[in-house]
Amino acid sequence: MEQARTSRIVEAGEGLLEVTVEADGISCMALLTSLGMSRASASATLARGLVSRSVSRDVSAGTLGGTRAGEALGPSDVVSSGHAIRIRLEPSHGPGPCAKEAAEVLWEDPFALAANKPAGILVHPDGATDPTHTLAAQVQAHLAREGSCAVAQAVQRLDVPTTGIVLFSKTEQFQPAFDALVAGHAMGKHYLAIVRGALPAGTRLRFDGPIGRDRHDARRMRVSPTGKQALTVARVLGSSGQTSLVLVGLATGRRHQIRVHLAHAGHPIVGDELYGGIARDGSAGSSQGPSRAGSGGIAASGLMLHAWHEAFDHPVTGERVELWAPWPERFGLLGYPESRHSSAARDILAAGM
């Protein structure tokens, strides 16, 4: 990574990043962009006087571009090996709405966090619903509870009925680095889904039909020759009755991609009212209510799609990050408990889909 050739992070905390420069003769602008900032973010950070030479950590002597330790640096100031640079990470705007309930946070560092999204809420406000009834508001409640002044911005999306991992940026300066990570598909993200049809365990599935909008229903997408390229891969973990549990990976990120590809192949996700999901008893339809699963008559409903695993190289620190969401309870109620399927799914991920 470029960052490894130009600097080394020595401290990262709430609102503060300190790095030791490990390259000679680079501008402060180049240093900030090598850390993952966009040029616009780097320019704004420098213009606001948020970059300075560290008083306590600098191992070099003399002045730097006419400035002394502790004074703000400008875009054209040149830094060299041994210089210690302090970057203050200040939010440019106030926090958004807070929910009463804080999000379940799966992982967090000074730059980002991952939250476990429950079913039935938006990731971020859409202007038409209560802004506090969103995952973003729950994440902001978590940050407020922790005494953090960070403003979280979602860099991933999940449909309202889908559950699981959603990544948030905590700093304006480094959000473009996380946006680029997601947009470039430079991460592995895997879902669990319960689908219609009894499929043999271990079966590999591959779907590459292009995906475009359904001209007859604005809510839906469909496989279409004029759509955008899309690739979904899956492995069957097991079956129960007329349904199967599959582990799904995405090579592209089209809207409703997993739901569209599985439905087009004749294996719609259980509980998917938009794409023809079914109830646990095997009855088809687009408006299924809660179904009954198991001899205990336990009610189960909703879309059986869960963002379970995510792995990526951190765009700022370079560290490998691997995230796991809890196994969804509703999957266990439909005959797919974690104790029976989690190990097999992890083995598949370790070996490659």
Q: Which of 35-39, 80-84, 293-297 shows the lowest per-residue confidence on average (mean pLDDT)?
A: 293-297
Question: What's the rounded Cα separation, in Å, for the pair 144 and 94?
Answer: 12
In whole angstroms, give the CA distance from residue 249 to residue 261: 12
Half-sphere exposure of 115 (CA within 13 A, CB side): 31
Question: 315 and 179 share a domain?
Answer: no
The pLDDT of 110-132, averaged and rounded, is: 92
Question: What is the reported pLDDT for 62?
Answer: 52
Of 96 and 287, the one with more pLDDT? 96
Kind and range of the H or E run holding 115: strand 112-117
Whether residue 188 has pLDDT greater than 60: yes
Domain shared by 179 and 204, yes or no:
no
* pTM summary value: 0.87
| pLDDT number for residue 211 | 97
Residue scoring higher pLDDT (275 or 90) = 275
Asked if the model's pLDDT at residue 338 lies above 70, the reply is yes
Q: Indicate the residue among 136, 160, 183 that finishes a domain.
A: 183
Q: How many domains does the chain have?
A: 3
Q: Are residues 141 and 234 in the same domain?
A: no
DSSP characters for 227-243? SB---EEEEEEEEETTE
The verdict on residue 96 lying in a domain is: no
Q: What is the mean pLDDT of residues 200-216?
A: 95
Residues 159 and 171 in one domain: yes
Mean predicted lDDT score pLDDT of the chain: 87
How do residues 280-324 score in pLDDT, each as one tens digit? Answer: 444 444 333 333 333 233 334 689 999 999 999 999 988 999 999
One domain for residues 198 and 157: no
Lowest mean pLDDT among 179-188, 218-227, 320-329: 179-188
The residue among 149 and 325 whose pLDDT is bigger is 325
Judge contact between 172 and 92, C-beta under 8 A.
yes
**Among 31, 59, 88, which residue terminates a domain?**
88
Task: Indicate the residue among 183, 218, 252 that finishes a domain.
Answer: 183
Q: Which CATH number fits the domain that encloses residue 23?
A: 3.10.290
Residues 166 and 269 in one domain: no
Place of tokens 């490990």: 22
Q: What is the CATH number of the domain that holds 138?
A: 3.30.2350.10
Bridge-based pairing of strands 305-313 and 163-169 is parallel
Please check whether residues 140 and 198 belong to one and the same domain.
Answer: no
269 and 288: one domain?
Answer: yes
Asked if the structure places residue 17 within a domain, the reply is yes
Q: What is the predicted pLDDT for the residue at 58?
A: 58
My answer on whether 197 and 285 are in the same domain is yes
Residue 98, domain member (yes or no): no
Q: Which of 58, 77, 159, 272 is catalytic?
A: 159
Tens-place pLDDT, residues 5-16: 588 888 888 888
pLDDT confidence of 65, banded at 50, 70, 90? low
- Is residue 281 assigned to a domain? yes
- Spatial distance between the Cα atoms of 340 and 343, rounded to a whole number of angstroms: 7
Predicted confidence at residue 226, as pLDDT, reads: 94
Residue 233 has pLDDT above 80, yes or no: yes
Task: Tell me whether residue 94 is in a domain.
Answer: no
For residues 271 and 196, membership in a common domain is answered with yes
Indicate if the pLDDT at residue 67 is higher than 80. Answer: no
pLDDT at 4 over 60: no
Please report whether residue 343 resides in a domain.
yes
CB-based burial of residue 321 (10 Å sphere; 0-12 exposed, 13-18 middle, 19+ buried)? Answer: middle
Report DSSP letters for 250-318, one per residue. ESS--TTHHHHHHHHTT-PBTT-TTTT-B-TTS-B-SS---EEETTTTEEE-S--EEEEEEEEE-TTT-
The mean pLDDT of 176-205, rounded to a whole number, is 93
Q: Is the pLDDT of residue 279 over 90?
A: no
| Across 75-103, average pLDDT | 87
Q: Are residues 59 and 158 in the same domain?
A: no
Residue 99 included in any domain = no
What pLDDT digit, counting tens, does each position of 238-248 carry?
A: 999 999 999 99
Between CA 268 and CA 223 the distance in angstroms is 13
Q: Could you tell me if residue 93 is inside a domain? A: no
CB 131 within 8 A of CB 96: yes
Domain range spanning residue 233? 187-351
Q: Are residues 147 and 200 in the same domain?
A: no
Catalytic residue flag (residue 77): no
